[in-house]
Amino acid sequence: MRTSDLNIRRRTLTVPEIDPTNPEVLLDPFTAYGEARERGPVARVHLPGMGDTWVLTRHEDAKAMLADPRFELSANSFLGLPGIPDHYGPYLRTMSELNGKEHLRLRRLAAPAFTARRAEEYRRRIEAIVAALLDALPDGDAVDLLEHFARPLPMDVICELVGIPDEQRPRWREYGAAVVSGFGPGFVAAVPGIVEGAIEAVALRRTSPGDDLISQLLRVRDEDGDRFTDAELVSLVWQLVIAGQTPTNLIVNGLEALLTHPGQLAALRADPALLPRAVEELTRWVGPQLLTVPRFAREDVAFGDVVIRRGERVMTAIVSANRDPRVYSDPDELDVTRVPPTGHLGYSHGAHFCLGAAFARVETQAALSAVLDRFPDLALAETPRRTPDGGTWRLASLAVRTR
């Protein structure tokens, strides 16, 4: 098709437009993106600071794009951001932003440390961290499980996995709180500490190896003798810190969903063996990530009647793809017994499928299991408040009564 014909065709198409800053969209992205999905496979959103972006709303198209090498990631997410010194730049370029052979090399080196089997080996250590946090909950009629449990948990787990010395862990908790709160002054202020702490951790494990991920990755060599550089390991720790905060929001989203769906909560309490399946369903139904990071088309690619041109930005709307009726029966219903006919996209798909997904699953399972076991009379103390965020479905608090 000639370029002039494409221009004419584009002007005649009616593509749904979504304003992610609209209060109605912020309060109910499931309806907004779901309605767009039923109008067509592609929508447009205007992202503050980024401009117009194509969004794929249906599961099949979204999954295909995430595995399509014609769409590539940018490696500049944190480079040149105001307030972050330039000399930290090399450490902030993670494998999750790389493409092709460069990404594949690092992924192959890292993958053995992030298998489901390795995550299971850490389960007891994660359960101990969960128990310690629950033991430390403040007394009172109501307690905020976001502030006192779900927010510190991921960073405590990361510190355990990475081998951060005990005396440094309170400081790393502060870093985690800054990261999970989103980009802002607190986030920027935390970056130097995270990078410097990761540099120290890698240097420590090079001379004093232990039973942790850094020590394991320092020993890794592929069949050609390739191995991680120290800078690449620091970048990997940075990636774990950024991506590893996801369970914070997933845990409280999941608890809120269960507490407001007593039938589902009762089914899970009656059959704890449903927990792994329930975690997958909660990830599908109230997973925190609404949109994937942008990819850029390397050539013109058509989705239905819409052509995404070379160089244009495109994202997957996880929020609508995970509730696509073409894939899931009764997709807007929470069902902890559901056996999905195909995988949800809560951890992305393809070559960039979340490296830490197995650990996130074990961590979320451990957290939900412990809370429900310890507090049989758990109930909401007040209506949960949400933090308006066009990219993340997250709570501002989760106040509960534990007895």
133, two tokens: 């946090």
250, two tokens: 């997933």
Q: Which residue in 191, 175, 314, 188 sits closest to 248, CA to CA?
A: 175
Q: What is the pLDDT of residue 48?
A: 77
3-state secondary structure of 16: coil
Measured CA distances, 374 to 78, 131, 138, 349, 378 (Å): 40, 10, 15, 35, 9
Q: What is the pLDDT of residue 222?
A: 55
Q: Which residue in 155, 238, 166, 253 sits closest to 199, CA to CA?
A: 238
Query: Residue 200 burial (CB < 10 Å; 0-12/13-18/19+)?
Result: middle
Q: State the Cα–Cα distance between residues 200 and 208, nearest whole angstrom.
A: 12
Q: What is the pLDDT of residue 178?
A: 85
Q: What is the pLDDT of residue 256?
A: 98
3-state secondary structure of 46: strand
User: What is 3-401's CATH number?
Assistant: 1.10.630.10
Q: Can you say how many angstroms the Cα of residue 107 is from the centroid of all Cα atoms in its chain?
A: 18
Task: Count CB atoms within 10 A of the CB of residue 53.
Answer: 17
Q: Can you say how many angstroms the Cα of residue 8 is from the centroid of all Cα atoms in its chain?
A: 39
Q: What is the pLDDT of residue 220?
A: 78
Q: State the Cα–Cα distance between residues 298 and 294, nearest whole angstrom.
A: 13
Measured CA distances, 183 to 76, 148, 177, 179 (Å): 15, 22, 11, 7
Q: State the Cα–Cα distance between residues 156 and 344, nearest whole angstrom.
A: 27
- One-letter amino acid of 387: T
Residue-range domain boundaries for the chain? 3-401
Global pTM value: 0.91
Please say whether the beta carbons of 140 and 187 come within 8 A: no
pLDDT digit string (tens) for 253-263?
A: 999 999 999 99
Q: What is the pLDDT of residue 10?
A: 46
223, two tokens: 């069949």
3-state secondary structure of 94: coil
Q: Degrees (nearest 5) of the Cα angle 386, 286, 275? A: 125
Q: State the Cα–Cα distance between residues 65 and 53, nearest whole angstrom.
A: 14
Q: Which residue in 65, 67, 55, 60 sits closest to 325, CA to CA?
A: 60
Which stretches of the chain drop beneath a pLDDT of 50?
1-12
Q: What is the pLDDT of residue 146?
A: 96
Q: Degrees (nearest 5) of the Cα angle 113, 117, 120? A: 105
